[in-house]
Every structure is written in structure tokens, then in C-alpha cells.
Structure 1
Amino acid sequence: MNKTNVNHPDTLSAAITGSGGSGVVTAGQMLLKAVAAAGLFGLMTRSSGPQIRGGESAAMLRLGVKPVNNLDDKFDILLAFDWLNVTRFVDEIPLQPGSLIIRDPDAGEVPPELASDDIQVLDAPLKSLAKTIDGGRPNMIGLGILAKLLGLPEAALRQVAAEHLEKKGEKAVEATQACISLGHTQEWSELPISPLEPPHTPPVRWNISGNEASCMGAVRGGVRFVAAYPITPASEILEWLAPNLEKLGGSLLQAEDELASVNMIIGSSFGGVPSLTATSGPGLSLMMEGLGLAVTSETPLVVSNVMRGGPSTGIPTKSEQSDLNIALYGFHGDAPHLVLAATNIGDCAFTTQWAVYLSEVLQTVAIVLSDQSQGQARSIIEPPAEPKEAYQRLLAKSPEEENHYQRYALTEDCLSPMSIPGTEGCIYTADGLEHNERGTPSSMTEDHLLQLDKRRNKIDGFDYGEAWADLQGEGENCIITWGSSSGAAFEAAQRLSQAGVPTRALALRLLAPLQKQKQQNTLQGVSNAIVVEQNHGAQLYHYLNANQLLPPGTRSMAQPGPLPIRPGDVMAMMTQEADND
């Protein structure tokens, strides 16, 4: 039987489900590690029920011989350890005619919500087979079966088992390897799924989450102090940085709340140390007054905001791109600052590193937007690129003349040297009040206007190079997007072009300030465009439309979370618009 995903024979999608304690996530993590060991690419997202702890869970993976940045439209394989509350994941694990369900007969029949005459069912006695091995576990039997169907070599699974369970002792490793081998050696008269073909010589790949990649970008950029308050789905940033910053001579402090966090990093940055905080939507709301202080005092800092479903507590464990408006407009007064968004898991490293550089050189706030689907998902990727330019903060030196230092001097490029506390002759007042060039508080109209212009022009006039966006493809059709929706948009554009509908895709990385002339040049010749984003209010669409940066007739495809945007949905929207035109 041929592989079900005939349009994309170089990828396969698999989901693993089961109740709490069945080892769903462990199996998924080990499978992803085996993907890397075999030299393939992969992406794993996870989902859980509404319980605070425990309960049913699902691991969703897409594997391929090329980079994988998003889930596919449908899943080729569903491995179910049991059926407890599995219907909660029906919308998240869409199957298609020819998809395969692997089930343990002892767990009962396939639920009617998943059963279909077009769906293949493979009976695998996971529990019975596990009992034949001392210390055997059904999830490892299932892992071996799944790996065989996907085309992963047994050696890669055995290697992963040895590494994953090393701390549990030799007996646990041997039992797990035996289970994997037993599952992998199961025979069928005909493989129900056409497997992938791993390369003969596996290259070096990274196995990393978006949150971990953001951490990597932060330390590469020079961040050495972090203050933050734990919040889902950004807490892993703190967990990774806490031990690793110390190895680089830095430190992390868990603050009592988000207000304390932002004020701590303002103080640290004022002292000369590049600083960062990590949060999600509710925490970003609390930080706004402090961020305004950083803007007006021209103190550089970075906020990594890992978005989740909102408003209020919303859906903490699910993804949504709904914090764009607060990132752009949440400050009171006129407060120019930077807003950036990573386009995929690996790009979290590049974008965060670039944000640190930009924040430092422009002496302002940089908000980096990722989301739960990026932050907590894991991916097998090539080592991510680094920004071409490593910008640094402009520091003041002791002036030759007494009382000559002007912290907020009106220079040609609107950037004025920032002194480190203790620099002789460079004392100045740094607070939230408007000020003159020396930093002395002032309510004069002229001082206010000059400093407003200074803070705006230094950002608007900076040359951001070509990293402002990613562009793929060409044609009169265009998909405009940002953040985690980029993967689906790029794949949709590629599929459309292959089908004879020339389509380009533009993913914005720098959302503020908008690179208006560059975007206008990029969109020349576009007659049919859609803006794709995962929120209910079409936030990017309205933002670009207000700035007159969309081709006439551009339509919005705004889909709120928690379900991901899939390439097929984008294709349907684009072709519908093309037909209507």
C-alpha cells in the first residue's frame, strides 16, 4: 500500500495518545531523538487534557527528509495506548482516508469519532507483548512498531534508549531495548504505510525547543542577567537559563512578580549588563509601565513574550498569536520600541539574538514574540544562523570638560553615548520624567518635542538590513504572515506554485518599526494577497492596512487558537480569493 500523503512523500505524520502514566510523551521524545540520530528532520508538539496534573495526553510529530516547521494537514499514523478521553484530541489529530490506527485489542474498539471504513486498523497486543519481557512496558513496544513503520532503524532507537534511561540503570535500559526490538521486528504481510528513507550518513542536527532556542539566542547576544516570574508557556526559558547563565558569569533571579522583574532588568541594564525577562500575555500587561520607563530613559532591554490563548487566564497550555496589539500599542504615550517575531523554532535563536543586538545599539525596548506552539514544541533542525552584524551599546567616556556630558544629546543619528555608573564626569538623572539633553527633568514644549523626535528617529532611521522578513517564492499571489504561522504559509505557497498557481510568501520578522519601503518593493506585482495569522481580531491585517501596506483587495485569514493553521487551509483560502477575483 502506498504512503497516504501522496503530495508529500518526503514527510510522515504520527500521533501518540494515551491516559496519564502510559508514557505518551516519553515515547514521543524518544522517537524524536531517534529521528535526529537517523539524520532526518522532525517536529513534535504535545497536548494534554484540562487537568492541572496527569490525565490524557497526545504527542504529535511530523518527520521528513527536509526541514519541518509545521504540522501537516492530516496524520498518517495514530498509535493509541488506550482510549481514555482520546476524543478530546479528535480536532487536533485529523486523519484521512488511508491513515493507520495502531491499537491494542485489549484496550477496546476504536471510538466511533475516529473509526471509518477508509481508516486502516492494525491490531498490536502491546500489553501482552510487554509481559513477555521482565520490566517491559507497552509504550516501548509501541515505539518499536511505530519506528518500523516510519522507516527508522532499530539501532537509532536502541541508542536513544541507552542515553535516555542511563540514570535508571542497566536493567531498565536492557528491558527497554528488548521491548523496542520486539516491536520493531513485528512482521506484516504488507507494510500499511510507505516508510521514510533516512540518509546513509546522518549529519549533525540540533534537538531543541523554541524556548531553548530563545535562550541560546539571548546568551549569544550577550545577555548576562535575567529576572522573571514563572508563567506558562515561558517558564522553560527560566529553567534553561538558571544553570547555564552561571556558567557564563551571569545570573538569574526569580522575582516575586512581573512588575519586579521588569524593574530589576532596567536596573541591571542601567548598570551596563545586557538583560532580559521572559513572560506571557498576562505578565506583559503588568510590565507596561516599567517598559515605558525604559523607553523614555533609553535603557536597553529585551522581553521574550511566549504567547498563549487569551484574554485573561485564557488557555495557558495552548497557542495563539493574540498579543501583537499589546506589544505594538500597550505603552502609554508615544513610546517607540522594537517588536520582533520568530518565524520558526530555530529562528527563535536568531531573532532573540538579533533583538539583543538591536536593543543595545538603539538603547530601547525590544519585545520578541513567540508562542506556545514554538516555545514548547521540539524540533530537529540544522544549527541556526547568527545575525551578520553584532551591534553593541554606545558607551560614554569621561569628558574632557567638567559638566560637559549630555546623556540625551541630539546627535545626527539620534544615538547618544550611555554612561556606566561610576564613569567619571558622566553622572546624569535617569527617570521617567521628560528631560533635556543633560537629563534634567523638563516640562518645556521644545524639550519634549526634541526628545520625542530623538526616540522615534533613532529607530526609524536605523538600517535593519535584509533580516526584517523572510520571502520565499514568486508570483502574483502572496501570503503575508508572521510568527508560528509562517511554516504553514511557506508550505502552502510551495504547494500552490507546484500546482501551477505561482505564489510567494512573506513572513515579517521585524513588526515595529515596519520597513515600509522594503515591504512595498517586495509586494510589487501582487494582485491577490491574504494575511494569515492565529488570532480572532485579524491584528496583523489591521496593522498593515492602517499603514497602507497591503495590495488592494487583500483579505484576512484570521483563525484563533488552539488548533494550528494548516497548509491546506491556507491553500483553500488563497485559491478561493483567486477564483473570486
Structure 2
Amino acid sequence: MDAADNFDISLAVTGSGGAGAITAGELLLSVAGRNGCFGMMRRSFGPQIRGGEAAALLRISSQPVACMNDSFDLLLALDWRNAERFADEITLRPDSIIIADPAAGAVPQPVLDMGGQIIAVPLGDLARDIAAGRPNMVALGLLTRWLGFGPDEAGTLITELFESRDAEIASGSRLAFEQGFAQPLASSARQEASTEQPGAPRNSDLPPLNGERWHFHGNEGCGLGALRGGIRFVAAYPITPASDLLEWLSPRLDQLNGSLLQAEDELASINMVLGASFGGVPAMTATSGPGMALMLEGMGLAVASETPAVVINVMRGGPSTGIPTKSEQTDLNMALHGLHGDAPHMVIAPLDHADCIQATEWAVRLSEALQTLTIVLSDQLLAQSTVLIPKPEYRLPDIPPRCTSGPDPDYERYALTDSGVSPMAIPGTPMSTYVADGLEHTSFAKPSAAAADHAQQLDKRARKIASFEYGDLWADSRGTGDTVILTWGSTTAAAREAVRRLETAGHPVRVIALRLLLPARPERLAEALEGARRVLIVEQSHGRQFEHYLRAYYEIAPETRTLARPGPLPITPGEIVESLTGWE
């Protein structure tokens, strides 16, 4: 790749389940990385266990990107079965390219209505004459050439992926790729995009183009952060879209002398986590909304017994089973207020893929230091999309480890300390035995229904959460100006790109993204909002859960609006720009 190139290209590969759209997209993103590019791929599936639809939505750029663009330059359909289900997710322009196999049938009307130049390529016929040839590998070759990349990197990747499984499949995939690469298309998309596609303009806060790139998805980022934080035991029950996180953690925990146990259900999972943590091993579970609903009573036990526990909730569309394979930010209310009684705990939300590592490590260390429950709110968009980004670099503030106790004949497990944190004895410590259950208790851990004991322990549990100094990681603030975008979680990346576009157009805007949602930090947000004339709240929620949370805990600018909608469609940078430029 010419270092002088400046391009930003979005493309989609769609097909029915099993057609290989996701495999083609993943390989194409890897090819882009080996050619010195940055990028992102969002996986979109139907809710069916087998069959259904699948799409790989890619953005490949000469500059780091963290969200998808507003529209797509190219759509390649391996087949048109169920393609209408992606009509809302894949926005085309009149100048977009549509590549389709004539043998797969006519282009659906919803796609035709968006316009675009249709190019017929016999993907199936090109693959049919090759032993173990696949149309998705033909598509990979075609797109590799269209993007202006050489064939060698892709060929190496195909060999690495398939040869260990079957030599014939590896050979057939390579030959199919070469057939696709030989197909003539228009001039290199990268060259056209260098002059026609504005993309995300360079900004001083973006990393340099050279240097090490990381290729991972958000679930892997949360897993890495958990291991860095010290997690060595995981108990969980599989659930979409958190299962990828568990699959990634299992072999790596083995390498660290830790363990992952698949429990019989979510209730067992959270109780196993509490048992391991009570025994001195940092522990966590990962789930999604329906699973966390089942864990709420056990999570309350973590708070009452002051046992460190981390719950990673990868949010999806709800309520009930909802849309298991699509993203939404609608477990916020449950994370903040779902526990019964007065149950002070922490809620932390990663802001982008790189932050999945930092936020999760921070959450684990805070949980250990403050001996309580911490919920990490990720979502399907972060968890199951893959990025090529500069190597994540961060530094956490100093956080004390778990406060433990040695032999003590006068041991008070729940001593009323100034910080609210009391020494936690490991089972087997002489003269320091105690019972950690859900009953209210005295400072010596003896059950008590006395009003004074209840008030003292309530104060203690609240004090340690409220008085801790969380530092600057509570939120991320960028930009200047008297207009502020206030957001959280995965919508942060789109908000940041909107700010860069507005700044380039001469309209300075700030974006403040909250990482620490509970406990609330009203004084810190008041400082961050100083000088703000108007605020746009951005969230992916039908019920405006984030807006109601903000109004409950914070003073916001008098002139405030909300851009809110439910999943599964992510909020785009263009929508945010439109909301602000149309605000008179």
C-alpha cells in the first residue's frame, strides 16, 4: 500500500447461513491488515440457530476507524435468500456497486430501490469447476483485487486457515480465490476513494499510521482485560452474544492455571463465582440480559456479603428472548437498579474495542479493592465486531489489592472502617473464621435484625463505593465548544467520528462518554459540562434509559435533546451530525 493513500471504503458481503459470507469478510479484513490498513467488520446474523441470513459489514481505511460509515460503496451477494432482512442495515447510494451472481436470481426490489450499478459475476460457475471450490472464495479474490491488494497475503491466509483441516479444501479455496482475482472490475476502489470518499478526517488525537496493529473483537478484549485484572476462575452458562467470550477465555485460563466451568444454569454460575471469590480467587461470569435477570439475587448476595464478583453483561435486543443476535443498550436500568434492597455496586461500560480491555481490567481491580459486585456492560455491537486498530495502550491508576487478614482472635469481618473496606480473611486462616451469607449482620458477621446494625452496615457498604477516588477514568471527554454530545458504551465511537466531521466543517463540538455509570459522579460531570450551552444525549434505547438516568443523577444544560432509538440498527455518525446541524 502506498503510504500516501488516503481512503475509506465500506462494503458488505451477504448470503444465507452457511454460504461463507462471514469467512470471506474475516479473511478480507486480515488481508487489509497485512497491507497496512485499519478497519472494522460487523457481523450480522438472523436469530436462527441454523440457516437464516448472514452478512459481513466491513469498513477498510488508511486511518484508524472505530465504527461503521453511513453507507456502503459495494454490496456483494453470494445469494439473495433472506437478503431483504438486511435492507435497513446496508444503505446504498446511487453510485454504489452491487455484485451479484445471475444464477442466484434477480436482485430484490428493496435493493434495486436504493440504486447502484449492478455487475453480474458468475460466482457459482467459477467455483463449480474447481474441486472443493467455494463461491465465497471467488468473492474474496474479486474483492481483494477491487481493493487494490495483491494476491499473496490472501493466498497465505487461505492456506493457514484451511490446510490444517483438509488439503483439498485449502487447494480448492486457493484456486477459487485466483479465479475471482482474475475477474476484471473497475479501477482500484482505493484510488477512487482517495479523491471521492472523505472518510474520517485525520485528527491529532489519532495514532500514527505505522506501528503494531491488533486484530480482535470486543469479547476477546473483555477477556484479555479480565485476565490482566487477575481473574482466574469463570463459571458461566452459554448465551448469545457472550459465548464467544467464554470460548476465548477457556484455553487461556488453563495456561494461567485457572479454570472455566460451564454451570448448569445462570443461578449456579453466579453462586460458583461467589464461592471461588470467597476462597480468595478473583472470579467472574459472562452473560446477556436474560441470564443476568436470573443472577440478580446472587448478585445481591455479593453486595451483602461484600464478596468481590464481576459480571460481564453483553447486551442484546430485548425484552425476553428479543433479538439475540442484534445489539441494544437496554439493560442499563437492570444493571443500575435491578438488585433488591439498597445494594451499592459498580457499573462500568467500555467505550470502544480498545476500551474493552482497559474497562474490564479496571472493573476487576475495583471489585477486588472494594469487595463488591461490578457489572461490565458491553453489547453485541462491541462484542461480535472485529477491528484492526493500533496496539491499545493505557495505564490504570493505582488500585489497592484485596484487603486480606491474617490470624486475629478479635477478627471483625465487617469492621466499621473509615473507608468502608474491611479485611477479608481467606478460609482456613486461624482464628478468622466467619460466615458470609445474605442475612444482615454485625461487624463480627453474626446475623442481626437490629436496626442499628442494619443502618451501620448500609452506611458502610455505601461509603466504600461513594468515597473511593476513581480518577479520570470515570469518563472520556474530547473536543471543544459549547455544544456537547453526551453518550455511553458502543455509541461513543459514532459520536467521536461525528465530532471530527463537525470540527472539519468548522463547528467545534465536545463529546463526553461516561465509562463509570454507577456510582454517579455529579460533581465531575458538572465540571466537564462547564460552558455547555446545549447537550445532545445519544443512546440506543427506545425508552430513553440513559436520558432518564442522567436526569436522575445529574444537572444537564437547559437546552437538551435526545437522539434515541432501539436496536438493531447502530446509530451512525451521519445521524448525529444531522441532529446537531439541524438544531437551530
Cα deviations by residue, 1:243-283 (Å, 9 ceiling, x for unpaired): 22111111111111111111111111011000001111111
User: How far off is 1:332 after superposition?
Assistant: 0.9
Asked whether the equivalents of residues 211 and 390 of structure 2 are also in contact (C-alpha less than 8 Å), the reply is no
Corresponding residue SS for 2:535: strand
**Matches for 1:244-255 after TM superposition, within 5 Å:** 244-255=252-263
**Matches for 1:29-428 after TM superposition, within 5 Å:** 29-115=26-112, 118-188=115-185, 190-191=187-188, 194=191, 203-388=211-396, 389=398, 391-399=400-408, 402=409, 404-428=410-434
Structure 2 counterpart of 1:464: 470
Runs of 4+ aligned residues of structure 1 deviating over 6 Å after TM superposition are none
Greater shift in the superposed pair: 24-33 or 42-51: 42-51
Asked whether the equivalents of residues 141 and 178 of structure 2 are also in contact (C-alpha less than 8 Å), the reply is yes
Equivalent of residue 503 in structure 2, options 493, 497, 503: 497
Cα deviations by residue, 1:202-239 (Å, 9 ceiling, x for unpaired): 74322211111111111111111111111111111221
Q: 2:17, 2:411 → 1: CA distance? A: 63
In structure 1, what residue type is equivalent to 2:297?
Answer: E
User: How far off is 1:94 after superposition?
Assistant: 0.6
Q: 1:539, 1:189 → 2: CA distance? A: 47
Which structure 1 residue ranges, 5 or more long, are not aligned? 1-7
In structure 1, what residue type is equivalent to 2:107?
Answer: V
Q: 1:152, 1:506 → 2: CA distance? A: 38
Q: 2:115, 2:81 → 1: CA distance? A: 23
Cα deviations by residue, 1:453-510 (Å, 9 ceiling, x for unpaired): 1111111111111111111211111111111111111111111121122111111111
Corresponding residue SS for 2:353: coil
Q: 1:524 to 1:168 in 2, by over 3 A?
A: same
Asked whether the equivalents of residues 268 and 275 of structure 1 are also in contact (C-alpha less than 8 Å), the reply is yes
Q: 1:118 to 1:89 in 2, by over 3 A?
A: closer
2:570 is the alignment partner of 1:564: yes
Q: 2:114, 2:261 → 1: CA distance? A: 56
In structure 1, what residue type is equivalent to 2:389?
Answer: I
Corresponding residue SS for 1:226: strand
Asked whether the equivalents of residues 149 and 194 of structure 1 are also in contact (C-alpha less than 8 Å), the reply is no
User: How far off is 1:130 after superposition?
Assistant: 2.5
Equivalences, count: 566
Q: 1:421 to 1:136 in 2, by over 3 A?
A: same
Equivalent of residue 432 in structure 1, options 420, 435, 438: 438
Q: 1:349, 1:576 → 2: CA distance? A: 36
User: How far off is 1:181 after superposition?
Assistant: 2.8
Corresponding residue SS for 1:25: helix
Greater shift in the superposed pair: 528-537 or 181-190: 181-190
Q: 1:249 to 1:107 in 2, by over 3 A?
A: same
Q: 1:286 to 1:516 in 2, by over 3 A?
A: same
Q: 2:517, 2:31 → 1: CA distance? A: 37
Asked whether the equivalents of residues 152 and 196 of structure 1 are also in contact (C-alpha less than 8 Å), the reply is no
Corresponding residue SS for 2:490: helix
In structure 2, what residue type is equivalent to 1:80?
Answer: A
Corresponding residue SS for 1:554: strand
Cα deviations by residue, 1:497-546 (Å, 9 ceiling, x for unpaired): 21122111111111001222211111111111111111111111111111
The alignment yields a C-alpha RMSD, in angstroms, of 2.0
Which structure 2 residue ranges, 5 or more long, are not aligned? 195-207
Asked whether the equivalents of residues 83 and 111 of structure 1 are also in contact (C-alpha less than 8 Å), the reply is yes
Asked whether the equivalents of residues 234 and 305 of structure 1 are also in contact (C-alpha less than 8 Å), the reply is yes
Corresponding residue SS for 2:98: strand
Asked whether the equivalents of residues 529 and 574 of structure 1 are also in contact (C-alpha less than 8 Å), the reply is no
Structure 2 counterpart of 1:4: none
Q: TM-score w.r.t. structure 2 length?
A: 0.93
